């Protein structure tokens, strides 16, 4: 379909390590699609298959089976590649270049003329905050600076689709915010951004959709809100009540957690299926005033840990509804 930037169907990749004759099933049937002009987050623990998926999409490795399309073209597609910007995981650059030379080289590979190369390089160097490091060779760059140089390099061809493998890696919180802002800006310009990360707060903050991958299969997919709002962990209640009432109020229901006293306030988390009205009536009988009642939704991090932490050895985990 024309409105899809990425279509991946039943992608499998088994690495064969010839010497130990061991097989690694890095991807065991991954399917997802990314609509154009969206920010799509691809998250999963170490070894989940994120880089394998991305390297397959970029035509750097061949899948064992399955198909994928980028911008409507089956991979590997040279045509699509000219419309795609790519930041590899832990990018390696020739040390003795400056960032300007790196970008000029990238521009040449895409066949850009000298004027366009200069204009884009200047704008991108400024945009990623490397202006003051223009004279330095990349050899002297910190990890964060190299990551910025890599991002600028990925944007030299003014791509429609930007594929970033761990763009926030090695960056401090303010550097991560800058990358998040850049990604949002790219979407505002009409581009599609697909990125992998471990940092769930970054995903929660900026993505339109998320896929969670673990052990080579997807274990969740949806908007961040869909993924986290499905599951209520409990109901946080805070009441203002004399300390003497604590024992009575926390005796039931079973499964009450996070009991805490803050001055004249008692807080606790009731199980999700509690009859909250009944509990509050009991509190009222003890002279309580309600301060707050808030359902506690699972965070993306809770969900991530829950879905990626139950490995039945050898068994692909079930795709949750
Ligand atoms: N060239 C290779 N040869 C053999 N096995 C490999 C190769 N590349 C990756 N693997 C294995 O495939 C699995 C998936 O690796 P991959 O790099 O795709 O994970 P990832 O999700 O990107 O992890 P990380 O978060 O650490 O970057 C891992 O078990 C890894 O050890
Ligand atoms: Mg990786």
Of all protein residues, the one whose alpha carbon is nearest to atom 1 of ligand 1 is 15
Among 5, 4, 44, which Cα is nearest to 28's?
Answer: 44
CA of 96 to the centre of ligand 2 (A): 26
- Report whether residue 50 contacts ligand 1, using a CB cutoff of 6 Å: yes
Q: CA geometry: angle at 234 spanning 231 and 238, to 5°?
A: 145
Amino acid 2: pLDDT:
58
pLDDT band at 303 (very low <50, low <70, confident <90, very high): confident
Q: Is the pLDDT of residue 160 over 90?
A: yes
End-to-end CA distance of the chain: 25
Among 45, 51, 212, which is best to mutate for testing ligand 1, by the most ligand atoms less than 8 A from CB? 51
Q: Which residue has the tokens 């154009």?
A: 36
What would the DSSP string read from start to end of 16-38? EETTTTEEEEEEEEEEEEEETT-
38: tokens are: 């969206």
Amino acid 298: pLDDT:
77
Q: Is 2 helix (H, G, I), strand (E, B) or coil?
A: coil
Domains in the chain: ranges and CATH? 4-83+159-228 (3.40.50.300), 233-297 (3.30.70.100)
Note the residue count of the chain.
321
> How high does pLDDT run on average in the chain?
90
Its pTM stands at: 0.83
Residues 139-153: pLDDT tens digits? 988 888 898 999 999
Residues 5-31: pLDDT tens digits? 999 999 999 998 877 678 899 999 999
């Amino acid at each position: 379909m024309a409105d899809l930037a990425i279509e991946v169907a039943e992608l499998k990749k088994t690495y064969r390590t010839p010497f130990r004759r061991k097989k690694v099933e890095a991807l065991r049937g991954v399917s997802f699609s990314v609509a154009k002009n969206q920010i799509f987050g691809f998250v999963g623990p170490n070894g989940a298959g994120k880089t394998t998926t991305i390297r397959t999409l970029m035509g750097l490795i061949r899948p064992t089976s399955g198909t994928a399309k980028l911008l409507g073209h089956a991979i590997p597609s040279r045509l699509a590649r000219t419309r795609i910007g790519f930041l590899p995981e832990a990018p390696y650059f020739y040390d003795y270049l400056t960032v300007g030379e790196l970008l000029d080289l990238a521009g040449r590979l895409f066949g850009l003329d000298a004027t366009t190369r200069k204009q884009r390089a200047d704008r991108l160097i400024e945009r990623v905050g490397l202006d003051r490091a223009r004279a330095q060779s990349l050899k002297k760059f910190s990890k964060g600076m190299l990551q910025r140089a890599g991002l600028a390099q990925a944007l030299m061809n003014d791509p429609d689709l930007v594929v970033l493998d761990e763009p926030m890696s090695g960056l401090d919180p303010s550097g991560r915010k800058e990358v998040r802002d850049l990604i949002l800006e790219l979407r505002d310009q009409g581009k599609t951004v697909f990125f992998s990360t471990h940092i769930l707060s970054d995903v929660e903050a900026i993505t339109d959709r998320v896929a969670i991958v673990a052990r080579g299969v997807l274990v969740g997919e949806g908007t961040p809100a869909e993924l986290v709002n499905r599951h209520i962990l409990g109901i946080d209640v805070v009441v203002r009540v004399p300390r003497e009432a604590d024992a009575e109020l926390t005796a039931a229901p079973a499964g009450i957690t996070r009991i805490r006293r803050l001055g004249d306030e008692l807080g606790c988390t009731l199980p999700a299926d509690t009859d909250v009205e009944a509990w509050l009536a009991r509190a009222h009988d003890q002279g309580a005033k309600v301060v707050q009642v808030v359902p506690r939704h699972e965070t993306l991090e809770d969900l991530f840990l829950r879905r990626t932490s139950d490995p039945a050895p050898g068994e692909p985990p079930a795709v949750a509804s």
